[in-house]
Structures are given as structure tokens and as C-alpha cells.
Structure 1
């Protein structure tokens, strides 16, 4: 019986977080309300309070749940690919598809909540910053592994990796922002062209990369 109560609690927690990550991507983490979520899901308010305790706890759990979704859609599909420029491109394409196909209704969850909390010190900001730092670190690691594998032209050094990562991520996040604000999916195709252009410019064998991004049916 105790195990049954634990499992029901876990199921309720998953149901709540499936709802909160979607709400927060549109309304922000401040838009979350334990009482409203309980009502929306037909749950008891006391049960939801027992699982999370406070709004801040709910916000932190939501960020962590969103991170799991992000990893599932963006990182995991390319994790086992051999190092190289093709793996880097596939990673960036996975990000564009994650944002453009609206895995979260508001586009990239972390772009949205970063703007909300970037100047607000506290545990939630720290959790968001940690998730973004891990993503940036992963992008840089994929690019550096490609460099070490000889995928980039001579002269492209370790010091060039953070700059390339910054430029690529700027294109991805601008595509996200433009598409959300203007409901314009063409932003992803333009970002993809820009990213491919940068990768081909430094690639030792640019012909191994496509000349243009594939046609993708974005959900914008």
C-alpha cells in the first residue's frame, strides 16, 4: 500500500510537471500557480502542495523537467555520433527542430525563462543559469571534439571554439525569438543557412556538409 501511494505521488508529480513546462514556456515561471494547476488537472490543492511545498520548489522542478525534455530532443539523438563537423551540424539542426516544432508551445523553454530571470538573483536563476551553462559547454565540447578529429581547417584552434559556439547559438536563439514573435518559420531556414555557412567556412572537407538545410515542416 505504501508503494502504491508513492507511485500515485510520482504519477501526479509527472502530470503536474508535464503541464508546468508548457505553461512556463509561454507565461514564464512566474505564471505558475499551485492552486491553478491543481484545478486545471483536477487534482486536490493539498496534494499538489504536498508534492512541491512552495512556488519556488515548483519553479525549480519545472526547470529540471524542461531540461530532461531538452536533452531527450536535442542532445540524445546525436550523442553516439562520431566526432566531426557532421555531428555538430546535426546537433544544431536538432535544436532548430526542437524550437521550430514547438516541443514547448512557447518555443525554446530556456530562452524564455532566461529572459525572465537573468537579472533576478536566487535559486531559480541559478538553476536556469546552470542548465544554459551545461548546454553551452556541450556545444563547445562537440565543436572541440570535431577540431581534435581533424574536421576543421588548419589554423582553427581551441581558442576559436567558444567564438564559433557563440555565433551559432546567437543564430539559433534569434530564429527562436523571431519565429515566436512574428509566427514566421522562415527564420529557422535562415538560421540553418547561416550555421551551415559558418561550419563550411572552417571545415576541412566542406563538401561533407550539405549546402542547404533540409526542408523541415515547422509547427509555427
Structure 2
């Protein structure tokens, strides 16, 4: 099916579809995206929805892109306003923990998508891998800047530290739903401080 050319009205309609699709995917997963339910939510026909996305797969990929843009805006962009070094790195972590609140949209789309596609080859999994690698690289860059600033030991294993830091938001997300966000965030920050303390110069 041919996708409709972009116009200002068409772009606005596409964004409205993506907004609703993102909300559905956060609570039901990308596989839970139903064209019929989505068309009903935006008061369009199924063919009208497909006019903006060539297939259900294209819609899923567009939702992943939308989620990634929101994630970067929430987690990484605020950190860029902080000085290079541990101040910036901590802001990334604080914002990442805050990202897992999801009080209004039902949950983290990425964690749901990973559980759906981690063992299913295809463009959805490829895009998830690409996004994940970009965020790990951004985290590694922030750690490297802290090393250059003399705040972390020059002999640390950056890849290992990034792995351990990356694990914290995942566990905070897990515990936030079961035990409450505040308790999970507090424990996550304490764990982060211990990791950084062990990697810091004496």
C-alpha cells in the first residue's frame, strides 16, 4: 500500500495516530496494536490509518521511533545542560529513573518490546538493538567524560561500568510497579552511588 504524501494536515493526522498508538503499545505492547482499535480511537477508517503507514509493521517501527525521541528528550537532553563529568552522568541516571514512573501511559514501551522481540528476528528487533546500542554508547561517552575530568579512575573498565549502571533503571522499573516508585528510586540511587564511589579516584 502506498503511504500518503506528507502535508501539514497529513502530518498532524499522522502524529495523532502515533500518539494513540504509543499509548496502546505502552500498556499492551507493540503486538497489542490493533489497527481496528486504533482506527476507532482516532475516528478513522482502517484504510485511513493505513494511508499514513504502509503496514502494521511500519506503524510499529514508527511507534518505536516516537518512543525513542521521547526517551532521549526526557533522559539525555536535560543532562546536556549539566557540566561534563559526574554531574551529567548522575542527571542521566536520575532522569532515567524518572522515566520509569509511567503513571499515565501504562509502562515502558521498550521493556515490553524487548520481551516481545528479543528472540524474534526482524526489523522491530533490529531497531530495538540499534536504539539500545545508541543509549549505551551515550552512557559510555558520559562515563568517559567523567574519566577525562579526573572524577573517575583512568583504569576503570568503562564497558563493565556501563553494563552495571544500565542494569539499575531496569531493576528500578521492575520494583517500582511492585513496591512503589519512591522506594525503588531511593534504592536505585544508593546502588548508583556505590558503583560510582568504587570507580572514583580516592
Partner residue, 2:139: 139
Whether the aligned pair in 2 keeps the contact of 1:114 and 1:129 (CA below 8 Å) is no
What is the correspondence of 1:17-56 to structure 2 with a 5 Å cutoff?
Answer: 17-56=18-57
Partner residue, 1:66: 67
| CA RMSD across the alignment | 1.7
Partner residue, 2:186: 189
TM-score when normalising by structure 2: 0.90
Moved over 3 A (4+): 101-104
Distance apart, 1:104 and its partner CA? 4.2
Distance apart, 1:78 and its partner CA? 0.9
Partner residue, 2:87: 86
TM-score when normalising by structure 1: 0.83
Q: C-alpha distance in 1, partners of 2:97/2:194?
A: 15
What is the correspondence of 1:89-168 to structure 2 with a 5 Å cutoff?
Answer: 89-102=90-103, 104-106=105-107, 108-153=108-153, 156-157=155-156, 160-168=157-165
Whether the aligned pair in 2 keeps the contact of 1:85 and 1:203 (CA below 8 Å) is no
Please give the per-residue CA displacement for 1:6-56, whole angstroms capped at 9, x wherever unaligned: 111111111111111221122111000222101012123221110012110
Q: Unmatched 5+ residue regions in structure 1?
A: 206-220
Partner residue, 2:3: none
Partner residue, 1:75: 76
Please give the per-residue CA displacement for 1:112-141, whole angstroms capped at 9, x wherever unaligned: 211111100001110111111111111111
